[in-house]
Amino acid sequence: MRVRMQVFGALTAVLVGAGALVLAGDPTAAQGAPGQPRYTAGAPGAGDAYFPFAGNGGYDVDNYDLDITYTPPAPAPAPIVGQLTGVATIDLVATQDLDRFNLDLRGMDVQSVAVDGKPASEVSPPAHGAEVEGAAYWHVQDDAARVWELTIQPRPKIKKGQTAQVVVAYGGQTTRPEDIEGALYGWVTMRDGAMVVSEPEGSMTWYPVSDHQTDKATYSFEITVPEGKVAVANGLPTRDPVTEDGWTTWFWDAPDEQASYLTTASVGDYELRYSETDDGLPIVDAVDDALTPANAATTEASLGLQPDMIGFLEDTFVPYPFNSYGSIVDDDTVGYALETQTRPVYSRVARESTVAHELAHQWFGNAVSPQRWQDIWLNEGWASYAEWLWSEHSGGDSAQTIFEGVMDIPADDPFWDLAIADPGPLGLFHGAVYDRGAATLHALRLEVGDEAFFAAAREWLVRHDDSTGTTEDFEAVYEEVSGQDLGAFFDVWLRTPSKPITW
């Protein structure tokens, strides 16, 4: 969900100047062309205009195996600083002939790097275009420019289509990282553990990663914490936790393709509750034992609705896309909830509407992810619209009534000043992305009729399952299924920074 930001009157798409930096050669240089080397550097970014250095080029990750040991902060008045050491084993396949490639890693120190068992030596970042001898790695961390890049030069080089296994040992103090807007995200250190919520590119604060949703992968986790603490990640436990010498190791496996921002490994004083839906989908909830009584009661009631909500959304759209579900409800707060895959994280309380929202993201956002961050209305518009549908289904206000409430916002209200199909990196979590996004979907439903509206939604989910899609892809599905020209409709609702009046 992320926090609903107040409406900014003069919000503009401010891009940090980092885009001008080039860290790893020229990714557009033709490979194998006369005068060009055959093996080149993978790009330092996935090509997302909002976060130019998130993700990387030249390879696709198949699997991350994360072996993490975490020590939470000492009791107050000690600073809220934890200690993390990790070994990340990353299986990837080269998509070009690779001389070098990058991983994203922020705020952690690298102890060693090996590729296919061959260790690389740490060197200082070379000047642009300079040669480096042998297998090597270097780490650039520029907080001001928001550039965090670990460059690895494997030897031998990796041929296009070849697999490679990269092992990075790393670690450091954990703090409370902030995203581009200044909101807490990533590995957020808490007194009793950590809330791990990494949208849009905060996974790099706790493991080396190609931190963009265009490179989805599977995950496995071994998380070791002081005895008594519980570590909860995505997917399902693969075995019982093992306790030895005052430390407990928790084992989790997430076999469904997953975007990096949807990875979690939260640590706290959780009670684990195992159940399943009538169809046999496993549900694992982790509820902090220190919620206030009122928040615990609200949370209990909301989580009890999860099986009904899953059934409702399956009937409305397509079958639930992953191997498990459940929620993490922490007594700490980052100020928002996040739809981490199979296991959303909630701050202090899980309310019914928020639970419907984060559950709907498992289809809209997680199974089908926004190809670029500018497409985030496809996440938040749908998840908000699912709240409206659930409200109507469960006897609350109808979707039409809630839509009319949004349309009652006066035309001169700054709410309407945002073109939600390109909200800018500081506008990702602007209220209009949510509410105008949902209103766009309801207006679309009125425009094409219920049958085409839901048929196209199902087609969207099937066509882009385990992958990503753009706003333009979405528009194409709706035009195809409805047989209508919707160009003017989408221009008015998505690309015009004023209140839709006619369409």
Which residues bind to Zn ion, rule: CB under 5 A? 1, 380, 383
Nearest residue (CB) to Zn ion, 4 versus 157: 4
Say if residues 366 and 380 touch (Cβ distance below 8 Å): no
Q: Which residue is nearest to Zn ion (CB)?
A: 1
| C-alpha radius of gyration, the chain, whole number | 23
CA distance 453 to 478: 7
- Give min distance, CB of 501 to Zn ion, in A: 28
What are the C-alpha distances in Å from 121 to residues 81, 115, 239, 244, 394?
Answer: 29, 11, 36, 34, 60
Nearest residue (CB) to Zn ion, 256 versus 380: 380
Nearest residue (CB) to Zn ion, 250 versus 320: 320
- Give min distance, CB of 243 to Zn ion, in A: 36
- Give min distance, CB of 389 to Zn ion, in A: 15
- Give min distance, CB of 10 to Zn ion, in A: 24
Nearest residue (CB) to Zn ion, 71 versus 302: 302
- Give min distance, CB of 189 to Zn ion, in A: 24
Beta strand segments in 270-363, E: 270-276, 282-288, 328-330, 345-347
* Helix or strand (DSSP H, E) at 391: helix 377-393
Nearest residue (CB) to Zn ion, 249 versus 264: 264
- Give min distance, CB of 438 to Zn ion, in A: 11
Length of the chain: 503
Q: What is the edge-to-edge ordering of all strands in the sheet holding 265-268? A: 186-190, 193-197, 265-268, 230-233
In a 3-state reduction of DSSP, which class is residue 100? strand
- Give min distance, CB of 383 to Zn ion, in A: 4
- Give min distance, CB of 382 to Zn ion, in A: 9
Percent helix, strand, coil in the chain (nearest 5)?
Answer: 25, 30, 45
Residues with Cβ < 8 Å from 144, sequence gap 6 or more?
none
Say if residues 358 and 341 touch (Cβ distance below 8 Å): no
The residue written with tokens 């993978």 in the block is 42
Nearest residue (CB) to Zn ion, 90 versus 345: 345
What is the rounded (10 degree) CA torsion for 310, 316, 321, 324?
Answer: 10
Nearest residue (CB) to Zn ion, 229 versus 348: 348
Nearest residue (CB) to Zn ion, 53 versus 429: 429
Give the amino acid at 469: G
Nearest residue (CB) to Zn ion, 95 versus 353: 353
- Give min distance, CB of 339 to Zn ion, in A: 6
Say if residues 440 and 403 touch (Cβ distance below 8 Å): no
Which residues on adjacent β-strands are paired with residue 194?
189, 267
Output the furthest CA–CA distance in the chain (Å, rounded). Answer: 71
